[in-house]
DNA sequence: CGTTTGACTACGC
DNA sequence: CGCGTAGCCAAAC
């Protein structure tokens, strides 16, 4: 379903992308999924349905020793996906607020303010997703 | 092995 | 809005 750079698993690709999200910004499972090139033999629509859950699975399976800004990944509604009131949800919100992300009275963030718009060109180039140099 | 479980989403009420 | 549900399938039981 994914076409990551050689030898990289889908999970690793997800973790790598999450690492690119800067402090104070957030992304959603679906957005991250859309940043991973779909496998050529899979229908785009099918990919769209599946990928977000796989991103969630990847996050859940993040190795203990691996340090990534996991708190910057929330759901498409702009809210935290852990059950409200759970220790994990509290921790995620705390970490995000610490970097300046604000939540409204319903526990949602304003994507217009804090949405991350994807990896920068340098990253894409490194992954072979853009020509070595801007074509200009 | 068959069954259950998700850090999801889009959509319909 | 909030809530329920179908669609989906790799992992974990």
- pLDDT truncated to tens, each residue of chain A (136 aa)? 455 543 357 888 899 999 999 999 999 999 998 888 766 666 667 666 678 999 999 999 898 889 999 999 999 999 999 998 889 999 999 999 999 999 999 999 999 999 998 887 777 777 776 777 655 4
Report the nucleotide nearest the CA of residue A53, measured to C1'.
B8
> What is this structure's pTM?
0.88
* C8 closest protein residue (CA to C1'): A50
Q: What is the dihedral of CA A72, A78, A80, A85, to 10 degrees?
A: 140
What pLDDT score does A134 carry? 59
Q: Is the CB of A86 under 7 A from strand B?
A: no
Question: Quick one: tokens of A32?
Answer: 């991250």
Say which residues have a Cβ less than 8 Å from residue A91's Cβ, sequence separation at least 6. Answer: A71
Distance in angstroms: CA A53, C1' C8 = 9
pLDDT on residue A133: 64
Residue A123: CB less than 7 A from any atom in strand B = no
Work out if A55's Cβ lies within 7 angstroms of strand B: yes
CA–chain centroid gap for A53, Å, is 12
Q: For position A47, what pLDDT does the model report? A: 67
**Nearest protein residue to nucleotide B7, judged by CA and C1' positions:** A56
Q: Where are the alpha helices (DSSP H) in A39-120?
A: 44-60, 87-98, 111-114
- Establish whether the CB of A28 is closer than 7 Å to any nucleic acid atom in strand B: yes
């Amino acid at each position: 379903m994914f076409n990551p750079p050689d030898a990289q698993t889908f999970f690793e690709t997800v973790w790598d992308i999450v690492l690119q999200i800067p402090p104070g910004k957030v992304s959603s499972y679906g957005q991250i999924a859309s940043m991973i090139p779909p496998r050529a033999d899979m229908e785009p629509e099918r990919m769209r349905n599946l990928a977000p859950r796989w991103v969630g699975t990847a996050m859940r399976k993040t190795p203990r020793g691996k340090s990534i800004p996991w708190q910057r990944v929330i759901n498409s509604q702009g809210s935290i996906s852990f059950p409200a009131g759970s220790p994990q949800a509290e921790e995620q919100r705390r970490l995000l607020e610490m970097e300046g992300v604000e939540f409204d009275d319903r526990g949602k963030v304003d994507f217009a303010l804090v949405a991350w718009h994807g990896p920068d060109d340098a990253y894409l180039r490194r992954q072979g997703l853009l020509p070595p140099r801007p074509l200009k």
